[in-house]
Amino acid sequence: MRVTPDHSRIVRMAPYPRRNDRRKITAMPFQKASWRNFRRMQDMTVAAAVLIYAGAVLHAFDRLPGPTALIVQRTLVWPGIFLLLSMGVPLVLGAVRRPLARYVWMSFKAGFGQTAGSVVTGVALLMGAALFMYWQIAGAANGGRYPAGVFSGYGAGIGILAAQALLVRVLERHPEVKREIEAEP
């Protein structure tokens, strides 16, 4: 990558490009390193939560008693409904979207996803929820209560995380937020 006199960047797209293969890419001015880290952390949190949930669902199919239709209903159908509701409601209703957007902005200002400590804390919370799901599955496999609520709760949690990740994109387009990100030291 090299910088041209007008301070834009030219990125070579192949390991051995010809002169005609260069493409000009300009950096967006409001994407400071801490904002990119924050946005990336929001995305990675959603991805990690989805992967943890997928592992728990596979584990549930292997361990839970009952017909497959019951397991599908309790681990995929109802949690999917809760996921869609908890993701859709904050994005559609302004009375919910504004406080959640404010929370996302305060999380950025507080440094979430920008330090090793906050990343470790986020991973620890996700792992704690995962361990709770696996513990509930193990209890049901041994004749305990069926863990329908834990799957629906985790699905709703993934929905809220996804709404937050989407609100990050909305926030970075807002003129006042954009100015503050640009003015960041």
pLDDT of 14: 39
pLDDT of 11: 43
pTM comes to 0.74
Distance between CA 77 and CA 82 in Å, rounded? 9
φ, ψ at 22 (rounded to 5°)? -75, 140
pLDDT of 5: 55
pLDDT of 6: 52
pLDDT of 65: 87
Q: Helix (H, G, I), strand (E, B), or coil: what is residue 138?
A: helix
φ, ψ at 24 (rounded to 5°)? -90, 125
pLDDT of 165: 92
Pairing of strands 2-3, 9-11: antiparallel
Which residues, given as ranges, of the chain have pLDDT below 70? 1-31, 183-185
Of 97, 116, 119, 105, which is closest to residue 41 (Cα–Cα)?
119
Report how far apart, in Å, the C-alpha atoms of 41 and of each of 19, 69, 121, 158 are. Answer: 36, 35, 12, 14
pLDDT of 112: 77
